[in-house]
């Protein structure tokens, strides 16, 4: 993405121009951005704030705009969740999302960290280091990251365990996932989440890959594991259905662009080499 193009966010939503404005698909806008010179004419100056988000290695900068709370979306422009858009990307496009995900994560964090968590003073921003600094007590705050594990479980028959979570809007089946708890090893988190959600025990836990997932601030850490023992028993709180599936009878799966889909496709033998955001 060149500096002459940018993205406009409201939280984890992208604000997109009217359909057909550039004859570019919504999915391609994620990768290519929109022209900088289209933003200021469309938005009132008091409704948007510009932040130039550097890549983690400072090799690139992504100009971004954050729409302030309660500001109206300009006529014809659209609010679309970023995670909805990435599900429509081709795998080769989805691999280049690292800077877009970073920008989404940081802009949400900036919005939520305006005031110091220790003394309540208004924070300043170190744009280069991407930190918040309290001018009153000196507290330094970094973007919040919440680690979570996601696990591909297979059994001796070569089947994969897939589960439907109550929070899924559609009848999608995905992998078991859950947040890290303080004091655990990541392997402990894997074992605990699997047992809590589907009452199974696993062995041979192996790290596979990770992905930034800014919805709102996760780091998804992907593992594989082999089924050990137990009978599937869904917790009924998060997981309402789960089962073993072979490659010929898979249910609807998560969209491309997610590490869940990557882990499933790798098991199917279809995954490309890991690049960019995954």
- pLDDT tens track for 180-214: 999 999 999 999 999 999 999 999 999 999 999 99
28 torsion bin: left (phi>0), alpha (psi -120 to 50), beta (else): alpha
Residues 117 and 19: beta-carbon distance below 8 Å: no
Q: Residue 276's pLDDT band (boundaries 50, 70, 90)?
A: very low
Q: What is the mean pLDDT of residues 101-111?
A: 94
Q: Residue 47's pLDDT band (boundaries 50, 70, 90)?
A: very high
Write the pLDDT tens digit of every residue in 48-59.
Answer: 999 999 988 888
Domain boundaries, the chain: 5-111, 113-143, 146-268
181, two tokens: 């708890």
| pLDDT > 80? residue 271 | no
| pLDDT > 80? residue 112 | yes
Contacts of residue 274, Cβ cutoff 8 Å, sequence gap at least 6: 95, 209, 262
What is the residue whose two structure tokens read 């990768």?
A: 31
Give the pLDDT of residue 87.
80
Residues in the chain: 278
Write the pLDDT tens digit of every residue in 113-164.
Answer: 999 999 999 999 998 889 999 999 999 999 999 999 999 999 999 999 999 9
Give the pLDDT of residue 275.
43
Q: What is the mean pLDDT of residues 4-24?
A: 85
Give the pLDDT of residue 4.
78
Of 85 and 253, the structure prediction assigns the larger pLDDT to 253
Intra-chain end-to-end CA distance of the chain, in Å: 18
Q: What is the mean pLDDT of residues 8-28?
A: 84
Q: Per-residue DSSP letters for 107-163?
A: HHHHHH-SB-TTT-PBPEEETTTTEEE-TTT--EE----EEEEEEEEE-TTS-EEEE
Element containing residue 179 per DSSP (H, E): strand 176-179
From 20-24, 98-102, 182-186, 274-278, the region with the lowest mean pLDDT: 274-278
Give the pLDDT of residue 22.
65
Q: Find the radius of gyration of the CA atoms of the chain.
A: 21
- Is the pTM of the predicted complex or chain greater than 0.85? yes
**C-alpha neighbours within 13 Å on the C-beta side of residue 18:** 6
Please state, in angstroms and rounded to a whole number, the distance separating the CA atoms of residues 163 and 175.
Answer: 6
Write the burial class of residue 264 (CB in 10 Å: 0-12 exposed, 13-18 middle, 19+ buried): buried
Bridging pattern class, strands 146-154 and 218-229: parallel
Domain topology for 146-268: Nucleoside Triphosphate Pyrophosphohydrolase (3.90.79)
Question: Taking Cα atoms as reference points, which of 220, 226, 158, 168 lies closest to residue 194?
Answer: 226
Residues 72 and 47: beta-carbon distance below 8 Å: yes
Please state, in angstroms and rounded to a whole number, the distance separating the CA atoms of residues 110 and 205.
Answer: 36
For 74, the 3-state DSSP assignment is: coil
What is the residue whose two structure tokens read 């000196």?
A: 138
């Amino acid at each position: 993405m060149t500096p002459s193009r940018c993205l406009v966010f409201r939280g984890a939503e992208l604000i997109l121009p009217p359909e057909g404005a550039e004859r570019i698909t919504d999915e391609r806008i994620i990768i290519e951005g929109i022209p900088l010179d289209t933003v200021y004419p469309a938005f009132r100056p008091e409704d948007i704030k510009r932040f130039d988000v550097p890549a983690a290695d400072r090799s690139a900068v992504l100009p971004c705009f954050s729409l302030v709370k309660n500001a109206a979306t300009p006529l014809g422009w659209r609010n679309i969740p970023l995670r909805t858009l990435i599900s429509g990307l081709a795998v080769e496009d989805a691999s280049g999302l690292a800077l877009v995900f970073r920008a989404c994560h940081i802009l949400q964090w900036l919005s939520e960290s305006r005031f110091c968590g220790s003394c309540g003073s208004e924070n300043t921003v170190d744009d280069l280091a991407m930190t918040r600094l309290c001018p009153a007590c000196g507290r330094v705050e970094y973007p919040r990251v919440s680690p979570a594990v996601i696990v591909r479980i297979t059994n001796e028959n070569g089947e994969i365990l897939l589960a439907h979570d109550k929070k899924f809007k559609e009848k999608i089946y995905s992998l078991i996932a859950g947040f890290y708890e303080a004091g655990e090893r990541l392997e402990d988190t894997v074992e605990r989440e699997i047992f809590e959600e589907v009452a199974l025990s696993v062995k041979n836990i192996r790290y596979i890959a990770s992905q930034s997932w800014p919805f709102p601030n996760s780091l998804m850490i992907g593992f594989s594991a082999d089924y050990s023992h137990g009978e599937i028993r869904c917790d009924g709180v998060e997981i309402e259905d789960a089962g073993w599936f072979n490659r010929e009878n898979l249910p609807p799966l998560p969209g491309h662009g997610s590490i869940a889909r990557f882990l499933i496709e790798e098991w199917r033998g279809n995954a490309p080499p890991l690049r960019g955001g995954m």
